[in-house]
Amino acid sequence: MTTSVRTHHRTCSLCEAMCGLTLAIEGDRVVSVRGDEDDPFSRGYICPKGPALAALHDDPDRLRQPLRRTSSGWTTIGWDEALDEAARRIHEVQRAHGRDALAVYVGNPAVHNLGSMLYGPSFLRALATKHRYSATSVDQLPQMLAAYLMFGHQLLLPIPDVDHTQHMVILGGNPLVSNGSIMSAPDMKRRLAAIRGRGGKIVVIDPRRTETAAVADEHVFVRPGTDALLLAAMVHVLFAEGLVDLGERAPLVRNLDALRDVVLPFAPERVEARTGIDAATIRRITRELAAAPTAVVYGRVGVSMHPFGGICHWLVDAINLLTGNFDRRGGAMFSRPAFDVVGAPPPLGLGAGSFGRWHSKVRGLPEFGGELPVATLAEDICAGGDPSIRSLVTLAGNPVLSTPNGPRLETALAGLEFMLSIDFYLNETTRHAHLILPPSGPLEHGHFDVAFHAIAVRNTVKYSPAVFPIARHQRHDHQILVGIERRLQDLRGASAATRLEIRLRERLGPERILALGLRAGPWGFGGGLRQGLRGISWAKLVAAPHGIDLGPLGPCLPARLPRRRGGVSPHIDIAPALLVADVARLRAELDADMDHPFALIGRRQLRNNNSWMHNVAKLMAGKPRCTLLVHPEDAQRLGVCTGDSVRVSSRVGTVIAPVEIDDGIMRGVVSLPHGFGHHRTGTGQTVASAHAGVSINDLTDEQRIDELSGVAVFSGVPVDIEAVS
Ligand SMILES: Nc1nc2c(c(=O)[nH]1)N[C@H]1C(S)=C(S)[C@@H](COP(=O)(O)OP(=O)(O)OC[C@H]3O[C@@H](n4cnc5c(=O)[nH]c(N)nc54)[C@H](O)[C@@H]3O)O[C@H]1N2
Ligand SMILES: Nc1nc2c(c(=O)[nH]1)N[C@H]1C(S)=C(S)[C@@H](COP(=O)(O)OP(=O)(O)OC[C@H]3O[C@@H](n4cnc5c(=O)[nH]c(N)nc54)[C@H](O)[C@@H]3O)O[C@H]1N2
Ligand code: SF4
Ligand SMILES: [Mo]
């Protein structure tokens, strides 16, 4: 008997690129995964992680049923019992000690999951704790803060129009490996080659000559953590040399004089020593940018998890404005997504944002968008106080490996009264939980990129149905979230209206909510009656398994800017007071002492996905990748060769890692990838444990933050290095 082969088209949910996959399925097995040539966005491109979804699906280590920790180890329990217990434990701690006695951490994959995107916000609102944390504060927080302060909405993130620009400056991003971030763009190699093909230019500014730098026209080494000085000098040059031209967006821009005044001390000659970039190069780069017919500056994690992350992202946006490249073809533009997280009201969207409504209890770091910086989680747990954090919920996160000073956080986790993890792996973080609730895997639920369509370089829309149904003993993320929410509100004796609303949402499911959002969005009735009648509907989406192309990004200001508080009309603040005030800190940097031993930076690798996907044997095959890159001259000074072990020590810890000599890394800078460190005991990831590596976050320092935004600083952690004899 032969079983027939079915074909499924699906968007890969692992990174932001949203590649279309074509899967061949035989029975309950994936027999092949290829790039979908008919996907209008990715046109057949995939990276090696896409096909690994098949192995992830089959992974025997992937959890499928709830686990409860007992004195004799983990035991499997039923879902009703597990959800009851989760809600009861949350309720008990909050009733006895107040809502803030519970903390919650949400990790990156939650943003790639339709169910948790649509059901997470109400779950978090129900928990109602001020101790909310997420991967945002080890990622794009400063970028969102700049958007909030400049444009009035935390999610109004300008996207580089790579497909039309003639000149691109990339700082702190390596899209050839990361596949683009806050710039969803499958096949960046082709897109960057096209810029050069049409006579344009690409400049990469990075402490490492990256894979992206290798395909650029010019690479400029910058000392880690000094980009804000460079960007301030570029703004200085634009004003000093009369190169400012706001173009058509001029009437929307406020506070131009304040920006000109605040960068006066940052002449290129003043910043060359600190940045390591000579003044003539800074002037030339700036002039070329201003002279290009269209241009865009793009900054990502290397200038975000940075001591001046807020200032960096502000000045990136400011330069795009000052050179007339904002909201303009070939410049920095806003998307017009079919499901519009910016336009949507709170149950569906996230709201415009907020800053500093409360502060963390030890260092007094500010809330942003309802969250505190995760660099304070361990100290917030350990500080005690009233109320002290006694319980923690983690959703799709592995903060032990992904947040600064992981070991300190582990110590804090071990002291919790109750910890619940919603995750399908027993890993470095979830091993501390008392209860693990595993959701369905990526191929087992419908997929729609609520977040990434909104930050893509082209407007497209695509829905992928589940490839496999879940077994009776499995649950989806949204079912877990709303299941706990319902039980919690029942225990609290919530109003009949609240309980009815939850039951309705529980019954609707993510697809129906998505369908409503599409009808309300800018390609539905939100775009007017005529648009609504012929626009994107659920039926059209389902009938287009490869996705629907909605065309290139287009100018959309001022319509897309929100009204400001107090009825102030929509505008762009090019010099927000909070950011201007932070420049005092940057001025002190001009003459800061430079004698630290080595500066440690991270690096992404094509076959890693943060700390997970390390349990897929195919992705881990080959030479060990968790190596410390060292410049040849530094290696000579240290007396080490490739393959030798070195001891790397920071204020917070020490790791021993093998050296890889590489002339692409700047002198005085060393680099370790993040996401490794799988040697910890009590985890359930066989393959990952066999390729343990060391965790860079055993070295990163939770005390090093951007003092404005509270984001953790990974760009340039001071370390000492010595050979291990
Ligand atoms: N030093 C250093 N540290 C870094 C970075 C760096 O560059 N350098 N990068 C930072 C960045 S940008 C980020 S985004 C963070 C990531 O930080 P985290 O989000 O905390 O960590 P991940 O490694 O992505 O862990 C994801 C977890 O989600 C689980 N998971 C996967 N899919 C699902 C799902 O659909 N549902 C549920 N419930 N769980 C799921 C996985 O099993 C895994 O345990 O790390 C940050 N940490
Ligand atoms: N293969 C793979 N793809 C991924 C991920 C993954 O783990 N693996 N993670 C995903 C996630 S969660 C995210 S947020 C994105 C991130 O996407 P990217 O922002 O493109 O991430 P990186 O590749 O880490 O690039 C950061 C760059 O900043 C440089 N850098 C470090 N410090 C400094 C500095 O002080 N100044 C400057 N100018 N540069 C500096 C580093 O050398 C590196 O080249 O990638 C996503 N895609
Ligand atoms: S680039 Fe990203 S979306 Fe595309 S196949 Fe790789 S992991 Fe998946
Ligand atoms: Mo990230």
Q: How many helices (H) and strands (E) does the chain have?
A: 23, 28
Distance CA 438, CA 336 (A): 34
CA atoms within 13 A on the CB side of 628: 33
Decide yes or no: CATH 3.40.50.740 for domain 67-139+341-552.
yes
Binned at pLDDT 50, 70 and 90, residue 527 comes out as: confident
Which range is least confidently modeled, 5-19, 38-52, 157-171, 553-567?
553-567
Task: Give the model's pLDDT for residue 595.
Answer: 67
Is domain 594-723 classified as CATH 2.40.40.20?
Answer: yes
- Partners of 148 in beta bridges: none
DSSP class of 493? T
Query: 438: Cβ–Cβ under 8 A, 6 or more apart, which residues?
Result: 62, 63, 64, 65, 66, 67, 422, 423, 424, 474
Which range is least confidently modeled, 185-189, 213-217, 592-596, 622-626? Answer: 592-596
Q: 211 CB less than 6 Å from ligand 1?
A: no
Hey, which of 301, 305, 714 would you mutate to test ligand 2's pocket, going by the most ligand atoms within 8 Å of its Cβ?
301
The residue nearest atom 2 of ligand 1, judged by CA position, is 674
- 418 Cβ closer than 6 Å to some ligand 1 atom: no
Q: Three-state DSSP class for 337?
A: coil
Residue of 601 and 534 predicted with greater confidence: 601
Q: Is the CB of 47 under 6 A from ligand 3?
A: yes
Tell me which residue of 302, 337, 278 sits closest to 155, measured CA to CA.
337
Percent of the chain with pLDDT over 90: 94
Domain boundaries, the chain: 5-58, 67-139+341-552, 161-328+571-587, 594-723
pLDDT tier for residue 448 given thresholds of 50, 70 and 90: very high
Helix (H) or strand (E) holding 90: helix 79-97
Ligand nearest to the CA of residue 44, numbered in listed order? 3
Predicted confidence (pLDDT) at residue 385 exceeds the cutoff of 90:
no
What is the rounded average pLDDT of the residues 226-248? 97
Model confidence at 517: pLDDT above 90: yes
Closest CA to 158 of 290, 297, 304: 297
Say what the pTM is: 0.98
Cβ atoms of residues 717 and 650 within 8 Å = yes
180 lines ligand 3 (CB under 6 A): no
Omega cis (within 30) before 345: no
Residue type, 442: P
224 contacts 195 by C-beta, under 8 angstroms? no
Q: Is the CB of 17 under 6 A from ligand 3?
A: yes
Q: What is the mean pLDDT of the chain?
A: 96
Task: Quote the radius of gyration of the chain (alpha carbons, Å).
Answer: 25
The pLDDT, as a whole number, for residue 346 is 64
- Residue 143 CB less than 6 A away from ligand 2: no
Model confidence pLDDT, tens digit, residues 50-94 = 999 999 999 999 999 999 999 999 999 999 999 999 999 999 999
Rounded CA-CA distance 672/694 in Å is: 9
- In angstroms, the CA 260 to CA 334 distance is 25
pLDDT confidence of residue 570: 94
Domain 161-328+571-587: top CATH class: alpha beta
Q: State how far the Cα of 50 lies from the Cα of 34, in Å rounded to an integer.
A: 8
What is the C-alpha to C-alpha distance for residues 465 and 200, in angstroms, rounded to an integer? 40
- Where is 245: in which H helix or E strand? none
Instruction: Tell me, yes or no, if the two domains 67-139+341-552 and 161-328+571-587 fold the same way.
Output: no
Name the residue with the closest Cα to ligand 2, atom 47.
Answer: 178
Give strand pairing partners of 240. none
Instruction: Answer whether residue 49 shows pLDDT above 70.
Output: yes
Q: Is the CB of 171 under 6 A from ligand 2?
A: yes
pLDDT (tens digit per residue) in 597-647? 899 999 999 999 999 999 999 999 999 999 999 999 999 999 999 999 999
Q: Is it the case that residue 377 has pLDDT exceeding 70? A: yes
Ligand 4 centroid to Cα of residue 699, in Å, is 19
Residue whose Cα lies nearest atom 35 of ligand 2: it is: 224
**What's residue 318's pLDDT?**
98
The torsion angles phi and psi of 26, rounded to 5 degrees, stand at -125, 115
Asked if residues 714 and 312 have their Cβ atoms less than 8 Å apart, the reply is no
pLDDT of residue 344: 75
pLDDT at 540 over 60: yes
Confidence category of residue 2, pLDDT binned at 50, 70, 90: low
Q: Whose CA is nearest to atom 45 of ligand 2?
A: 178
Mutate to test the pocket of ligand 3, among 10, 13, 14 (most ligand atoms within 8 A of CB): 14
pLDDT value at residue 376: 98
Q: Output the CA 507–ligand 1 centroid distance in Å.
A: 29
User: What does the pLDDT average to over 302-329?
Assistant: 98
- Among 2.60.120.330, 2.60.120.10, 2.20.25.90, 3.30.70.890, what is the CATH number of 5-58? 2.20.25.90
Asked whether the predicted pLDDT for residue 1 surpasses 60, the reply is no
pLDDT tens by residue, 646-683 = 999 999 999 999 999 999 999 999 999 999 999 999 99
Atom of ligand 3 nearest to the CA of 42: 4
Distance 223 CA to ligand 2 centre (A): 16
Q: What is the rounded CA–CA span in Å between residue 513 and residue 608?
A: 33
**CA neighbor of 371 nearest in space, from 124, 163, 61, 174:** 124
